[in-house]
Structure formats: structure tokens, C-alpha cells
Chains A and B, each alone.
Chain A
Amino acid sequence: MLEIRNLHAKIADTDTEIIRGLNLTVKAGEVAAIMGPNGSGKSTLSYILSGREDYEVTEGDILYNGESILEMDASERAASGIFLAFQYPVEIPGVATMQFLKVAMNEQRKYRGEDELTTPEFMRRVKEAAADLRIAPEMLRRPLNVGFSGGEKKRAEILQMGLLEPKLCVLDETDSGLDIDALKIVSDGVNALRSPDRAFLVITHYQRLLEHIVPDTVHVLYKGQVIKTGDKTLAMELEANGYADIIGAAA
């Protein structure tokens, strides 16, 4: 589903290279965890996948279902099924949450040549998904993410993910800022979406999240490269021994 080949990327208009020859393959149905110390390029990778313009790919390619996505803008990537759950969801005063959800769902459907949702159908879907994530209706009446607590913002991201039904879900430190109850709700939300035709890229610092969202593969990112790949036991090993051994072995 996702194939990243020898990817090099830098911050636009600078010489600061963040991703330095990254290779990664994620198959449909797979949950791949990306772990790594601070500054290894984890969040940058998620931004590049989503099409953020602050980064420039200088070499290599990103193939999604066999096609390069480098020429697609953020909205086209999203509409074709790539979803990024943000580490820091953006507050947008003046944009109503419900209006945002409706426009996003319908614009994606339009892109794929599907009919727009009727208002009752839209309302039904939001109501159901919100109830599963224990999102109160009052929250949905507020402007997008405005005044949401950290946990509410993360739940709102998972709500969007559920409603937009993406094929490739990138979760950027979704566990940060969550207490144990919120972590459970969010993880359940993610697990409910696991399916044979959907892949997840779970970016995290800690093994904690991976106890709830159990990965098929674990990749260690360091200085913009994947330096080690393993199964879920690799995450436990990291939790016990830290990154030093692996970094030392790779160097």
C-alpha cells in the first residue's frame, strides 16, 4: 500500500535535511509502528506523507498503491485515502466543527466521484461515530478544535478518521497528552477501524500506545533513516533498554 524509496527531504527554502534516505514498506492491513528518539524525523515524515508544503522532497519517491503522490497536494492525498491524525490538531476559530466535517466528507466523495451525503445521513454518521468516542454533542457545536482539551482534540482527530474512512492512517503521537482513560478510548477507536484493506502508520515515542494498538511491525527511525525493523518485541526491547544500543549498533 505504501512504499517509501530512498526518501530525502529538507525544510523548504533551507539546506536543513531531515529525512536522509528513508526506506519503508507498509502492506494493506498492516499496523506499522515508527519509533525513534526526539529529532529523528518522525513528525516530519508524517507531514511529508500528508503533503505539507513546508517540506521539499529532494530525492526518492513515495508510492501509494503503486503511484507516486509527490505531485499531489494535501487535499488530493487526503481525498485518495491518506489521513494524518495530527500531534497538535489546529484550532480554527470561525469554522464550525459540523460544517467542517460535512465539507470534508463531501469534498472527498466528490473527488472520488461519489454522491454527496444527505444531511440526515451525515448527521446519523456523525452521531454514531461521536457516541463511540464519547464526544459530547456540545463539543461538535463549537468552532473546530477551539477550546478543546488535549484529549478532546485527539478524540476529534479519531472521529474525523472514522468519518473519512481513509485507507492509510498516519497517527502522529496520538498518545501524547492523553490520560489512561482517554488513551483507551482513542485506541479502541483506532482498533475498530483496523481492517484487511486499511494500513496504519503509528508514530510514537513510547511503547505504552503499542500495548493498546498492537503493531505488526516496528521500525526505528534515527537521523532520517530506518535503522532497524522488527516485530512488536522490538518495541518492548526499546522500552527496556532505550535507543542507545540500537543506535550504537547501526553506527
Chain B
Amino acid sequence: MNIATPILTPIKLTAAETALVDAFTRQVGELPGDGMVLVARDNALDGIKTEGLPTRRVESWHYTDLRALLRAIPADTNAPFIEQRPGLVSNAFVLPVLNGKPDVKTSIDGVTIGSFRDRLMSDDHAHIEPRGSDDAIGRINTSFVRDGLVIDIADGTTLERPLELQLSQSAGQSHMRFAVSFGAQTKGTVIERHSSLSDDASLVSSVSDVVVGDGADILWIIFQAQGPVDTHLAQMNFKLGANAKLTLYVINTGGKLVRQEVHGVTVGEGSDFQMRGINLLGGDTHTDVTFTLGHDVPNTTSTEIIRNVIFDRARGVFQGQIRVAPDAQKTDARMACNTLLMSDDADFSAKPELEIFADDVQCGHGATVIDINATHLYYLMARGIPENKARGLLINAFVAEIVEELDDEQLVEALEDVISAWLDKHA
């Protein structure tokens, strides 16, 4: 198949790779899509079959050796039935996708919702190709994607309530894709909420392709709370139109093996991208947030602030790459990654990368491992709060500070509850 790239020595597949190939063989007859889709699936799986999953020798996977870390794949049997839950915020408009199956019955003014399965089956060529040969998440998702949502928000629409994509899992595998298009001058909030509702292992691959139209102002929150035995592979690809603003929160509080990729590109001048990351990591887990942003046009801005709190033997990774194209003058890009290590065995790797080909730009990055601020600790203790409790408040504050930037008080409260509950359990 892959004639252009000669494979010198055929690799010996790992148990997980073999399981993926076998699952594909079993499922291929029932996977949705026409011939074009099937070719894309075949190519993606062939990549896994011939090259294997990426190891640390592949640069973009250097800190997450997927081949070594992904030991097994849960069976692709029917997962136990689960029900829709209340939204993260009470006023959310919930679009449930339970065990990979969306419920498309709902309708909102100015918003068209369809299933991704229908798009795969239709004559419109569904975009499902991986980003490149190192895109393992894309390869897995392209091979197996069955469903998801296609959401179009018409020009000028303001979403009065947050739209919650409730992506719940009980067991087995779900491979989902979301194509979301925000028209010009749209406003609104989307909550992409991944959670596990059972103790059984699951494998989720989830890819979102998001287009933010000219002048749109969108808040997108990825809140991942999978279980301690789950593998979660997610990717968000976005394009930012002229004077558009996208604020993205990535909050990881669960999962055994997690990789969340965010790949963006500014396609219109005057656009602004804001990313805030919170990683609350504990147990014996591995969580990787990998981010790339291309400032492709002049006069665009971006800021990324990542806060990590790591307990036990957990490992965390943040890779952040900012590229500034040769004519993308007046780019202003800032990236910061701050980590609180709460145990001697906790580990965090931060890799900032700036590739700047324009001369009139402002770019900065910083990565720090920090300790609790002694003056803050003293002030709290001077009010009678015992040291351990005061530390707890300050750890909480370290991440809550990020959440407090949000304007929506309900959302702030909900996320602060998530953070406190997690810290109560782990600290």
C-alpha cells in the first residue's frame, strides 16, 4: 500500500497494535462510509500496521511513548447502557453522545445539528484524514470513527446557553468525530465533557475540527474526567478567522493514559487565541497536552497558561509549539507552564518550542516548577488555619485562579467544585 515509503524491516506488532488490526478486520464491514472513506481508513490502519504506534524516537511523541504505554485495547463489545446526566452547569443545553452514539433529536435556533455518521454515509466528502505520519490519534480515529456530531452555528447567532457535548463512556471503545463550524459574529460556549461512568476500561478517540468564523467570540471547554483505567486520545483542530477570538480551556482530571492535542492556525488578521490548561494528576497515570499554533497571518495574538498539580507517581507532559510565518508580522504570543509537584515521584516535562520566521514579533515562553508561596501560607496561618489546610487552599487557588478568569459565574462555580472535589480526594 504505502509504496512511496519502503519499510526496511517489518516491525513486530505489540499486543495493542495487533488488537487494533484485529478489531479493524472484524469491524470493517460495518464501519460507515463510502469507498473514499474506506480508502482513508485503510491508509490510516496501514500506517499503524507498518510503522507501529509512535515511540519516543518520534519527536512529537518523545515524552509519551505510546507504543510502550498503550499495553492493551479494551474489547469492542457492546458497552453497558448509560444514561444522560445533568449538565456541568444547570443551564447547559446537553447533546449526549453515550458510548459513542449521539442523540441528535434536539434543535436550537440558529444551530443545525447532524450526526457524523450521516456525514460519513453522505456524498459530502467527510474530512477524516490524519494530520500526518506522526498523527497516531488521527490514524486510530480515522480507522475506527463511527459517529459524532456535525454542528453548524449560523452567522450572527448568540448561544444563550452553553452547549454541552456530553461524551460519556461505560466500557469498550468509542471513536468519535466532531465537525463544528461557528459562523461569522457568533458568540457562545461549548463544553466538551468526557467522562467515564463505570470502573471498566475504555478507549476513547475523539477528534474535533472547529472553524471559528470572522468576528466570532467562542469559549470552548474541554473537561476530561475519565476513569483511572481509561485511555483517552483526543485532538482538537481549529481555524481562527479574522478578528475572531477563541478561548480554550483544557482541564484534565482523570484517565490512565491521556493525550490531548490542540492544533490551531490563525487564518484571519486580528484573531486572538487564549488557552488555559489545568492538569490535576494523581495515581500512576500519564497525561500529555500537546499544542501547536501557527500564526500564519499578520496581527494575531495568543496566550497559553498551563497549571499543573501532580501527586503520587503521576507523570505530566506539556508540549507547546508556536510557529510564526514569515509574513506574520506583529504577532504577539506568550506561553507559560507552571507546575506544583506534590510528591518526590511526581514528574512533569515541559517543552516549549518557538519557530519564528518574521522579525517584528513578540514571543515569550516560560516553564517553572514552583512551591507554595511562603508569605501566602503565613498569612493564612496567621488567621488560625492549620498548615495542611492552608496548603490545600493555596494548591486549590493555584488552579482556581485560572478558572476565575471566566465571566460566567455558574461555570466558574462548577469548575471550582470539580477542582475542590478532586483535591479533597487526592491531597
Within 8 A of B (CB), among A42-98: 50-53, 73-75, 77-79, 84, 86, 89-90, 92-95
What are 24 A-to-B residue pairs whose CB atoms are below 8 Å?
A53-B378, A74-B378, A75-B384, A75-B385, A75-B387, A78-B382, A86-B382, A90-B379, A92-B376, A92-B380, A92-B397, A93-B397, A94-B401, A94-B404, A95-B380, A95-B400, A99-B393, A100-B380, A100-B383, A100-B393, A108-B383, A111-B384, A143-B401, A164-B383
Is A103 engaged at the interface, CB distance under 8 Å to the other chain? Answer: yes
Is A104 engaged at the interface, CB distance under 8 Å to the other chain? Answer: yes
| A98-113 vs B, Cβ < 8 Å mask (1 yes, 0 no) | 0110011001100100
Residue of B nearest to A104 (CB): B383
In the assembled complex, how far is the CB of residue A103 from the closest CB belonging to chain B, in whole angstroms?
6
Query: Are B378 and A52 within 8 A (Cβ)?
Result: yes
Chain A interfacial positions (CB closer than 8 Å to B): 50-53, 73-75, 77-79, 84, 86, 89-90, 92-95, 99-100, 103-104, 107-108, 111, 143, 160, 164
Residue of B nearest to A79 (CB): B384
Is B86 engaged at the interface, CB distance under 8 Å to the other chain? Answer: no
Residue of B375, B393, B398 near A90 (CB, 8 A) is: B375
In the assembled complex, how far is the CB of residue B409 from the closest CB belonging to chain A, in whole angstroms?
9
Q: A95 — which chain B residues lie within 8 A by C-beta? A: 380, 393-394, 396-397, 400
Q: B378 — which chain A residues lie within 8 A by C-beta? A: 52-53, 74
Query: Are A94 and B400 within 8 A (Cβ)?
Result: yes
Q: B397 — which chain A residues lie within 8 A by C-beta? A: 92-95, 143
Query: Are A84 and B382 within 8 A (Cβ)?
Result: yes
Query: Are A93 and B404 within 8 A (Cβ)?
Result: yes
In the assembled complex, how far is the CB of residue A120 from the closest CB belonging to chain B, in whole angstroms?
19
Q: A92-B394, A93-B397 are in contact. Are A160 and B383 (CB under 8 A)?
A: yes
Query: Are B390 and A75 within 8 A (Cβ)?
Result: yes
Q: B382 — which chain A residues lie within 8 A by C-beta? A: 50-52, 74-75, 77-78, 84, 86
Query: Are B401 and A93 within 8 A (Cβ)?
Result: yes
A77–B389 Cα distance when bound, in Å, is: 16
Q: A89 — which chain B residues lie within 8 A by C-beta? A: 379
Residue of B nearest to A84 (CB): B382
Residue of B nearest to A91 (CB): B376
Q: B375 — which chain A residues lie within 8 A by C-beta? A: 90
Q: A93-B404, A94-B401 are in contact. Are A75 and B386 (CB under 8 A)?
A: yes
In the assembled complex, how far is the CB of residue A229 from the closest CB belonging to chain B, in whole angstroms?
27
In the assembled complex, how far is the CB of residue B272 from the closest CB belonging to chain A, in whole angstroms?
23
| Contact residues on B (Cβ < 8 Å of other chain), bracket | 20 to 34
A100–B394 Cα distance when bound, in Å, is: 11
Q: A53-B378, A94-B396 are in contact. Are A104 and B401 (CB under 8 A)?
A: no
Q: A108 — which chain B residues lie within 8 A by C-beta? A: 383-384
User: For the complex, would chain B's binding face be called helix, strand, loop or mixed by DSSP majority?
Assistant: helix
Residue of B nearest to A111 (CB): B384
Is B325 engaged at the interface, CB distance under 8 Å to the other chain? Answer: no
Q: A52 — which chain B residues lie within 8 A by C-beta? A: 378, 382
Is B399 engaged at the interface, CB distance under 8 Å to the other chain? Answer: yes
Residue of A nearest to B393 (CB): A95
Residue of B nearest to A143 (CB): B404
Is B415 engaged at the interface, CB distance under 8 Å to the other chain? Answer: no
In the assembled complex, how far is the CB of residue A159 from the closest CB belonging to chain B, in whole angstroms?
12
In the assembled complex, how far is the CB of residue B403 from the closest CB belonging to chain A, in whole angstroms?
8
Q: B393 — which chain A residues lie within 8 A by C-beta? A: 95, 99-100, 103
Query: Are B389 and A103 within 8 A (Cβ)?
Result: yes
A158–B234 Cα distance when bound, in Å, is: 50
A50–B394 Cα distance when bound, in Å, is: 20
Known contacts A84-B382, A143-B401; 14 additional CB pairs below 8 A are A51-B381, A74-B378, A75-B387, A90-B376, A90-B379, A92-B397, A93-B401, A94-B398, A100-B383, A103-B393, A104-B383, A104-B385, A107-B389, A108-B384
Query: Are B387 and A73 within 8 A (Cβ)?
Result: yes
Within 8 A of A (CB), among B387-427: 387, 389-390, 393-394, 396-401, 404
Query: Are A75 and B379 within 8 A (Cβ)?
Result: no
A94–B401 Cα distance when bound, in Å, is: 4
| B65-80 vs A, Cβ < 8 Å mask (1 yes, 0 no) | 0000000000000000
Q: A99 — which chain B residues lie within 8 A by C-beta? A: 393
Query: Are A107 and B399 within 8 A (Cβ)?
Result: no
Query: Are A78 and B383 within 8 A (Cβ)?
Result: yes
Residue of A nearest to B379 (CB): A90
A177–B262 Cα distance when bound, in Å, is: 47
Residue of A79, A92, A111, A143 near B379 (CB, 8 A) is: A92
Residue of A nearest to B376 (CB): A92
In the assembled complex, how far is the CB of residue A141 from the closest CB belonging to chain B, in whole angstroms?
9
Residue of A78, A92, A164 near B381 (CB, 8 A) is: A78
A103–B380 Cα distance when bound, in Å, is: 10
Residue of A nearest to B420 (CB): A99
Within 8 A of A (CB), among B336-385: 374-376, 378-385
In the assembled complex, how far is the CB of residue A3 from the closest CB belonging to chain B, in whole angstroms?
21
Query: Are A78 and B384 within 8 A (Cβ)?
Result: yes
Q: B379 — which chain A residues lie within 8 A by C-beta? A: 86, 89-90, 92
Q: A94-B396, A94-B401 are in contact. Are A107 and B385 (CB under 8 A)?
A: yes
In the assembled complex, how far is the CB of residue A92 from the closest CB belonging to chain B, in whole angstroms?
5
| B232-245 vs A, Cβ < 8 Å mask (1 yes, 0 no) | 00000000000000
A95–B394 Cα distance when bound, in Å, is: 7
Residue of A nearest to B397 (CB): A94
A166–B390 Cα distance when bound, in Å, is: 20
In the assembled complex, how far is the CB of residue A149 from the closest CB belonging to chain B, in whole angstroms?
18
In the assembled complex, how far is the CB of residue B413 from the closest CB belonging to chain A, in whole angstroms?
10
Of B374, B387, B393, chain A has the most CB atoms within 10 Å of the CB of B393
Q: A73 — which chain B residues lie within 8 A by C-beta? A: 381, 387
* Top 5 A-B residue pairs of the complex, sorted by shortest distance between their CB atoms: A94-B397, A94-B401, A78-B384, A74-B381, A108-B384
A250–B385 Cα distance when bound, in Å, is: 41
Residue of B nearest to A52 (CB): B378
